[in-house]
Amino acid sequence: QSALTQPPSASGSPGQSVTISCTGTSSDVGDYNYVSWYQQHPGKAPKLMIYEVNKRPSGVPDRFSGSKSGNTASLTVSGLQAEDEADYYCSSYGGRSNLVFGGGTKLTVL
Amino acid sequence: EVQLLESGGGLVQPGGSLRLSCAASRFTFSTFAMTWVRQAPGKGLDWVSLTSATGGSTFYADSVKGRFTISRDNSKDTLYLQMNSLRAEDTAVYYCAKRVTTVTTWGFDIWGQGTMVTVSS
C-alpha cells in the first residue's frame, strides 16, 4: 500500500486560514469515508483532530475542519494560532484491514 | 484522565526479539479496538497492527506480517506487541492507540507517549 501524498510544508499568518491536502487513490481515500487527521508537536504523541472525513473529537476546536472530494481529502485550519504550528498527518483505511498514512505536512505559522 | 502507557522498548540486535506492552487506564479497555503505530526517527507515521476489542481479530501491515504478533489481555487492561526477527528498519518509536469509537472506524483518539525500539548490532 503506497503512502498518501501530502505537501511537505504549508504556512499562514495568524488569523488566516490554511488548507492541507491529502491525495490517495480510488482504493483508499476515494473508496472509504475513514480519513483521519493528526496533529503532532515535536517530541509528542500524535493527537486526533478529525476522523471519518469531517468529525471532530470532543475538545478539538471548530477551527479545524475536514472534507473530501474524490481521491483527495483536505484539512482546513481557520483563524490560525501560534499553537497550530505542528506536523499534520492524514490517514485512510486502505481496504483489506490496512491503514495508510500520508508523509506529513509541516505547518508554519508566520 | 484516560491514559495509555507503553513499555518494553530498548536496544536489540538484528534478528532478536522484543515484547512491548501498553497499559490502559480510566476507560473500558475491553470495548475498544487497539492499534500500534510506529515512527522512525525524523520520519512519518507508519501503521503496524490492529486488534479488535476481544482480540479475536488481528491485522498487520505487510512489512511486519509473520514477524510481529499483537495481543491483548482484557483482564489486565494491557495490549502487547511481540516483535521477532527484528530488522534495522524496525527502529522507531512505537505508539499504542485506542480507537475513537466502539464501532468500526479507523481513527484513534488516545495515544501513549511511545517507547523507542532500536535494532542495531
Taking the C-alpha atoms of residue A79 and residue B63, their distance in angstroms, rounded to an integer, is 40
Q: What is the mean pLDDT of residues B89-94?
A: 98
Say what the pLDDT of residue B102 is. Answer: 84
Joined grid coordinates for residue A102: 500520508
Q: Which of B94, B42, B49, B97 is nearest to B70 (CA)?
A: B49
pLDDT band for position A79 (cuts 50, 70, 90)? very high
Joined grid coordinates for residue B62: 505487510
pLDDT, tens only, B3-48: 999 999 999 999 999 999 999 999 999 999 999 999 999 999 999 9
Q: How many beta-carbon pairs under 8 angstroms link A with B?
A: 66
Chain B contact set for A52 (CB, 8 A): 105, 107
Sheet containing B18-25: order of strands: B3-7, B18-25, B78-83, B68-73
Taking the C-alpha atoms of residue A63 and residue B10, their distance in angstroms, rounded to an integer, is 39
State how far the alpha carbon of B100 is from the alpha carbons of A63, A108, B27, B72, B80, in Å. Answer: 20, 28, 12, 18, 19
- Interface contact B44-A104, CB threshold 8 A: yes
On the 0-12 / 13-18 / 19+ scale of CB atoms within 10 A, B27 is middle
Taking the C-alpha atoms of residue A10 and residue A107, their distance in angstroms, rounded to an integer, is 5
Chain A, nearest residue to B36 by Cα: A99
Give the helix/strand (H/E) hosting A24.
none
Say what the pLDDT of residue A2 is. Answer: 66
Residue B43 neighbours by CB distance under 10 Å: 12
Taking the C-alpha atoms of residue A11 and residue A18, their distance in angstroms, rounded to an integer, is 7
Chain A contact set for B50 (CB, 8 A): 97, 99
Say what the pLDDT of residue A107 is. Answer: 98
Residue A94 neighbours by CB distance under 10 Å: 23
On the 0-12 / 13-18 / 19+ scale of CB atoms within 10 A, B67 is middle
pLDDT, tens only, A20-78: 999 999 999 999 999 999 999 999 999 999 999 999 999 999 999 999 999 999 999 99
Nearest chain B CA: its distance from A28 CA (Å) = 12
**Chain B positions touching chain A (beta carbons under 8 Å):** 35, 37, 44-47, 50, 59, 61-62, 95, 97, 100, 105-109, 111-114
pLDDT band for position A97 (cuts 50, 70, 90)? confident
pLDDT band for position A3 (cuts 50, 70, 90)? confident
